[in-house]
Structure 1
Amino acid sequence: MTDPLERIAAALERLAPAPLTPPDWHAHPAYVWDGRTARGVDRIEAPALAQLIGIDRQKDLVTANVARLARGHAAHDMLLWGARGMGKSALVRAAAVAGQQNGGSLALVQVAADALASLPALFLQLASERRNFLVYLDDLGFAEVDTGGPRHLRSWLEGGVEARPANVRLAVTSNRRAIVPRHAGEQDDPLNPRDALDDLQALADRFGLAIGFHNASQDEYLAMIAAHAAPLALAWDEADALEWAKRRGARSGRTAWQFVTELAGRAGRPT
């Protein structure tokens, strides 16, 4: 090969990444989308629904909605918002497992945090599949300077030309209902204050289900520990459990599980 252009073309071809093999969207119960392709996950890690204590109403709403999606019935996009560690993400995963076990055709697709802009490409692949998909965005939040992200998400939820297809619904978890930061000063801004608030609220309003999660009471926190400790046959002391929560400044499902992990470690057992 003596032609310089041919040598350059051959070198560029060697440097170019190999074409991506499309994922088999029927081979796995879950996938992780990285913005270009999806990696199959053979097992969804999720607690049993009975172990999610103190969120009975939230469980009923989410599991019923996911079951409808799994059966191909009308279902809502979901925003799960509120207190940290109260089972928002765990409930999404557990509801997906329940939907699959009850005979539904469903896959859970988790989108990486930096792959949000690639959702239209993901939707394009999923739209042609004879399966239903719950696309899962965990711990979503937008910075104040990010005006494009919230607008794109509103468009994907409904109304836009790139809206998610009929066999896809979104499940978003966030610590804030509005997803984007809000400040008290917004209510005092003399320049269109109502417009500013409405623009923030409009994103949450696009979800058919916006479900709040709140901090656990003391009784709920202790019940969470009991639910996790009983299957592991771990003995525990109520005062010790309350001191554990006090030191962490929170009573939540996550705090309860961390205490049970500590108990198992003390006993020389795995969890």
Structure 2
Amino acid sequence: MDARLNAFLERAESVLARLEPLLPAPRPTIDWSTTLAARWQRDGRTGYLMPLEVSLDIRLSDLIGVDKQRDQLGRNTHQFIHGLPANHALLWGSRGTGKSSLVRALLAEHAGAGLRLIEIERDHLADLPRVVEQLQKLPQRFILFCDDLSFEAGEGDYRVLKSVLDGSLEQAPD
């Protein structure tokens, strides 16, 4: 009996050794008390948040020529962090006009108050409900940042974005 059991265990171990490389890698756990930003990563049909190392080297006061936009977005972000009514924001302009720098400066300014940043690629907008679901019960306040948001005629990705912004059966997230 011991010989058969040993043979079975050896075969099972061999099968597991061949299957192990096919299994998905363990997903990182994010400690949002110390992590300031993450990027949504696709993993086949599912996805996860990958922590990012971000530099907080840019301040709002460093941004020149966008005073009105900086001040308006700064006030809106301040209200958002403090649980007051705030608006969604769409920054648009030519490449190199400071849109991403403005978002990074907002993070640098308000990270201590619990502001965090999630970067999501335009091609992953269909995953927005999953992203929001993961963040929903956390005490931090999250900016979902999509750099290079554009839509072609006939594409439906904007509907997912609209649904997350406006809410559906569930209440729209703060």
Length-normalised TM-score, structure 2: 0.77
Instruction: Check conservation: 2:80, 2:86, Cα contact below 8 A.
Output: yes
* Corresponding position of 1:155: 163
Q: 1:71 aligns with which of 74, 78, 82?
A: 82
Instruction: Check conservation: 1:109, 1:133, Cα contact below 8 A.
Output: yes
Query: How big is the shift at 1:108?
Result: 1.2
Instruction: Check conservation: 1:46, 1:90, Cα contact below 8 A.
Output: no
The secondary structure found in structure 1 opposite 2:150 is coil
Identity rate of aligned residues, in percent? 35
Query: How big is the shift at 1:161?
Result: 3.5
Q: Which runs of 5+ in 1 are unaligned?
A: 167-271
- Count of aligned positions: 162
Query: How big is the shift at 1:75?
Result: 1.8
Query: How big is the shift at 1:7?
Result: 8.2
Instruction: Check conservation: 1:63, 1:99, Cα contact below 8 A.
Output: no
* Corresponding position of 1:263: none
Instruction: Check conservation: 1:48, 1:94, Cα contact below 8 A.
Output: yes
Alignment of 1:119 with 2:119, yes or no, is: no
Distance 1:162 1:33 in 2: 22
Q: 1:17 to 1:81 in 2, by over 3 A?
A: same
* Corresponding position of 2:72: 61
The residue type equivalent to 1:85 in the other structure is: G
Query: How big is the shift at 1:150?
Result: 1.1
> CA offsets, 1:35-59, max 9 Å, x none?
3222223433553323322211101
Query: How big is the shift at 1:160?
Result: 1.8
The residue type equivalent to 2:80 in the other structure is: L
Length-normalised TM-score, structure 1: 0.52
Distance 2:70 2:113 in 1: 18
Query: How big is the shift at 1:84?
Result: 3.0
Alignment of 1:17 with 2:24, yes or no, is: yes
- Range 34-43 or range 114-123, more displaced: 34-43
Distance 2:123 2:57 in 1: 23
Q: 1:99 aligns with which of 82, 102, 110?
A: 110
What is the aligned-residue RMSD (CA, Å)?
2.7
Q: 2:149 aligns with which of 131, 134, 140?
A: 140
Instruction: Check conservation: 1:23, 1:37, Cα contact below 8 A.
Output: no
